[in-house]
């Protein structure tokens, strides 16, 4: 039915006024949900086949619909399709175009479905693809860390707590810490996929349908192992999006943490690593500058990804059952986080291949800061001195070193014995950084044997 203003809306039968231009502009989502076209068409094709299967479409009608949808998809991909904002969203744009192409058969396509379950389907299909894409990028990033750990195996550096030199560790051990972080990110995304991979189509607006639909058939067509159990929940559930955004947030935070270390380590104060020129920029006024812009941008983009999670949680906070138009606000945060994290991972994969660690400077950095003090305390423990007493003894030795501008390794045996008579000549085996590192051989430790075991397992797990 046409409204008084002569505008044909798919839902306009009971309306007598033209939609306000301000309201139409404010409520339109086509400018961002057009990217769902591929998923909307895939869902429509599966739905059409199901309608034919249960006798609500003839064979000729379903063929018309499938051909029409394929033609629309080709037009969108070739940038010849004209999106119409007055049709509000991707669903109505595609449906209207289909009707214009195939006539009455196209008007039957929306039988037994609502935009409510349709958009839920589209987002699940979209996030399924995005999750697999991010999983592949995470695996490539892990390979980058593993390759660096292999290349620099044996290089010792200071490990830090509170950004103060703490204990010596293998650089490979430090790099593999990020391998573990991103392994957890992969596990989270894989787990999230179980909740994403549920078919909502068939739930209708909120109460299901009286028509004899075959949801299991549609699920098989679209590769869903599960069908939603409650129609009201299915059209209003956005938990899977929140989970995806939370997983994205942690990925970006992990990228940000490594970026922070690159910013610090590439400074002249550290000079632990050189970032390839192709990932840096200069200054418009200071000719000598080489700025680590890519790590800084990756670090900075964590704010928007965290913000997107907060935005969706806030949208959901006060919503009653079931579908509410507020849920239109779910897509932009999801799209933005998926794009941001994908781009950040991709550029970091490339950046890793352009890192060059300064072996000599890393080695010199372990020569100061009393970083084998804990080893001396543990040495005393093995001499049957209680740890708290050993801790105090070594603390006194460090204070002596500070006062006399010496390192622990520079103290003579006589000087060391003034703090504890149990100290013997074998103490120098553990005061050196190599002895310190290789003494930590328990699973998960920084000893060469433990790190090599972890590195080999990582390479096996990644298939490299």
Q: Is 439 a catalytic residue?
A: no
**174 noted as active-site residue:** no
Tell me the two tokens of residue 116: 């409510």
156-161 and 164-170 strand pairing? antiparallel
SS3 category, 321: coil
Catalytic residue, chosen from 78, 162, 210, 284, is: 162
**Residue from 58, 267, 283, 353 carrying the catalytic annotation:** 283
Per the CB < 8 A criterion, the answer to whether 218 and 199 are in contact is yes
3-state DSSP call for residue 273? strand
Pairwise CA distance, residues 233 & 235, whole Å? 6
Q: What is the largest CA-CA distance in the chain?
A: 102
Contact call for residues 118 and 39 (beta carbons, < 8 A) = no
Query: Which stretches within 267-386 are classed as H helix?
Result: 293-300, 302-317, 331-352, 359-365, 373-382
- Interhelix angle for 215-222 vs 37-53, to 10°? 140
142, 179 in Cβ contact below 8 A?
yes
In whole angstroms, give the CA distance from residue 329 to residue 331: 6
Taking CA atoms, 179 is separated from 146, 243, 255, 281, 368, in Å, by: 7, 22, 11, 28, 28
Distance in angstroms (rounded) separating the CA atoms of residues 209 and 119: 17
| The token pair that represents 189 in the structure block | 């995304």
Cα angle 242, 46, 48; round to 5: 125
Closest to 119 in 3D by CA, of 315, 327, 318, 332: 327
Helix (H, G, I), strand (E, B) or coil at 318: coil
Which residues, at least 6 apart from 143, have a Cβ–Cβ distance to it below 8 Å? 462, 464
Instruction: Report the DSSP beta bridge partners of residue 156.
Output: 170
How does DSSP classify residue 291? B
To which residue do tokens 């787990």 refer?
Answer: 191
Whose tokens are 């096996």? That residue is 460
**Mind telling me the catalytic residues?**
162, 283
């Amino acid at each position: 039915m046409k409204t008084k203003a002569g505008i044909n809306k798919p839902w306009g039968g009971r309306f007598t006024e033209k939609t306000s231009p301000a309201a139409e502009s404010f409520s339109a989502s086509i400018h961002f949900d057009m990217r769902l076209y591929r998923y909307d068409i895939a869902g429509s094709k599966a739905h059409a086949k199901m309608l034919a299967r249960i006798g609500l479409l003839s064979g000729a009608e379903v063929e018309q619909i499938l051909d029409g949808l394929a033609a629309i998809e080709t037009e969108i991909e070739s940038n010849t399709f004209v999106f119409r904002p007055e049709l509000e969203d991707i669903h109505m744009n595609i449906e209207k175009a289909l009707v214009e192409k195939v006539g009455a058969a196209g008007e039957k396509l929306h039988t037994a479905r609502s935009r409510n379950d349709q958009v839920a389907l589209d987002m699940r299909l979209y996030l399924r693809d995005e999750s697999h894409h991010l999983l592949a990028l995470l695996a490539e990033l892990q390979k980058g860390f593993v390759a660096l750990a292999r290349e620099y195996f044996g290089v010792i550096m200071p490990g830090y707590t509170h950004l103060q030199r703490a204990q010596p560790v293998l650089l490979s051990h430090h790099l593999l810490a990020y391998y573990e972080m991103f392994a957890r990110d992969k596990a989270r995304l894989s787990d999230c996929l179980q909740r994403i991979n549920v078919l909502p189509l068939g739930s209708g607006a909120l109460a299901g349908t009286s028509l004899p639909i075959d949801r299991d058939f549609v699920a098989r067509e679209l590769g869903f192992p599960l069908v939603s159990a409650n129609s009201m929940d299915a059209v209003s559930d956005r938990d899977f999006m929140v989970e995806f955004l939370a997983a994205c947030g942690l990925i970006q935070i992990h990228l940000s943490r490594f970026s922070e270390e690159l910013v610090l380590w590439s400074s002249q104060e550290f000079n632990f690593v050189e970032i390839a020129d192709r990932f840096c920029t200069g200054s418009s006024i200071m000719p000598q500058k080489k700025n680590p812009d890519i790590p800084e941008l990756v670090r900075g983009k964590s704010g928007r990804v965290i913000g997107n999670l907060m935005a969706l949680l806030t949208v959901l906070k006060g919503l009653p059952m079931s579908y509410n138009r507020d849920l239109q606000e779910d897509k932009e945060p999801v799209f933005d986080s998926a794009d941001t994290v994908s781009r950040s991972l991709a550029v970091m994969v490339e950046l890793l291949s352009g890192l060059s660690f300064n072996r000599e400077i890393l080695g010199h950095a372990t020569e100061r800061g009393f970083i084998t003090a804990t080893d001396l305390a543990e040495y005393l423990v093995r001499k049957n001195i209680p740890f708290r007493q050993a801790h105090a003894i070594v603390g006194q030795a460090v204070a002596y070193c500070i006062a006399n501008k010496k390192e622990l390794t520079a103290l003579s045996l006589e000087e060391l014995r003034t703090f504890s008579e149990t100290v013997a000549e074998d103490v120098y085996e553990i005061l050196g950084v190599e002895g310190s590192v290789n003494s930590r051989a328990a699973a998960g430790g920084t000893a060469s044997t433990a790190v090599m075991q972890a590195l080999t397992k990582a390479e096996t797990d990644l298939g490299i």
